[in-house]
């Protein structure tokens, strides 16, 4: 990221991606705490959501309300949520020197909605919603679809599964392959890690990746 107009050094933008049950939320929180301990101001956030309007859209989507409207409409809803999130939370934080650590971002749309919506539409929605506010590091937590879904079910403790968790394991496995393909195409941004490792071991690997990418001491 470049300096802002006031000369303030801009913060860094880190995103986490992966399938259901890959442990993103846990590792987002752990990385945010490590960065804070290292003296950085940190904003921890998520998608869909992160701002009041985006959280309302999140609730609508995950409840399955958008499912009957078709994949293009769903993709546009995600883009609308992301635009508000970027404008109201992510970009202002970066411009004041804060680090932003986000659970899911633009890559999830490419993988989840990109299975049903043409690439040119996804490109346009991404450009409108994100602009130049793109992550410098994306941590992809890789896990088999079956194991990830098993984790998600245990985590929910009998609660109703959301719009995506209820889909067939073959769909989730296809998304896993799409994430891996995307990471392979952008090795300068992605770090792919084995999400089946113990959380503590994974936390240390993520911190090591951040130290290397951003030259942290």
pLDDT at residue 63 in the model: 80
State the Cα–Cα distance between residues 12 and 136, nearest whole angstrom.
7
Q: Can you tell me which residue has the tokens 């890559």?
A: 107
pLDDT at residue 3 in the model: 47
pLDDT at residue 1 in the model: 41
List helix spans (H) across the chain: 24-37, 52-62, 71-85, 91-95, 106-112, 119-130, 145-156, 169-185, 199-214
The structural domains of the chain, with segments of one domain joined by +, span: 22-211
State the Cα–Cα distance between residues 60 and 8, nearest whole angstrom.
37
More confident residue, 69 or 17: 17
pLDDT band at 2 (very low <50, low <70, confident <90, very high): very low
- Asked if pLDDT for residue 75 goes beyond 60, the answer is yes
What class does CATH assign to 22-211?
A: alpha beta
Q: What is the pLDDT of residues 98-156, one digit of tens each?
A: 999 999 999 999 999 999 999 999 999 999 999 999 999 999 999 999 999 888 888 77
More confident residue, 171 or 217: 171
pLDDT at residue 4 in the model: 47
Q: What proportion of the chain, given as a percentage, has pLDDT over 90? A: 78
Burial of 105 (0-12, 13-18, 19+ CB in 10 A): buried
pLDDT at residue 144 in the model: 96
For the segment 164-168, the average pLDDT, to the nearest whole number, is 71
- What's this model's pTM, rounded to 2 decimal places? 0.90
- Asked if pLDDT for residue 68 goes beyond 70, the answer is yes
Residue 94 to residues 3, 83, 189, 212, Cα–Cα distance (Å) = 10, 15, 18, 20
pLDDT band at 164 (very low <50, low <70, confident <90, very high): low
């Amino acid at each position: 990221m470049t300096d802002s107009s006031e000369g303030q050094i801009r913060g860094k933008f880190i995103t986490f991606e992966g399938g259901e049950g890959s442990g993103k939320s846990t590792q987002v929180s752990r990385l945010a705490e490590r960065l804070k301990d290292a003296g950085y101001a940190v904003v921890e956030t998520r998608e869909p959501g992160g701002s009041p309007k985006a959280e309302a859209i999140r609730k609508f989507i995950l409840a399955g309300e958008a499912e009957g409207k078709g994949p293009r409409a769903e993709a546009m809803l995600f883009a609308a949520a992301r635009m508000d999130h970027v404008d109201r939370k992510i970009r202002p934080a970066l411009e004041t020197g804060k680090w932003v650590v986000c659970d899911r971002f633009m890559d999830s749309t490419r993988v989840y909605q990109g299975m049903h919506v043409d690439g040119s539409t996804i490109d346009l929605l991404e450009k409108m919603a994100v602009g130049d506010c793109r992550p410098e590091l994306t941590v992809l937590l890789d896990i088999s679809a079956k194991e990830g879904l098993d984790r998600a079910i245990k985590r929910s403790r009998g609660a109703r599964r959301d719009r995506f968790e209820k889909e067939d394991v073959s769909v989730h496995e296809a998304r896993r392959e799409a994430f891996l393909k995307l990471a392979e195409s952008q090795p300068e941004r992605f770090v792919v890690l084995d999400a089946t490792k113990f959380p503590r071991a994974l936390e240390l690997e993520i911190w090591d990746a951040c130290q290397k990418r951003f030259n942290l001491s």
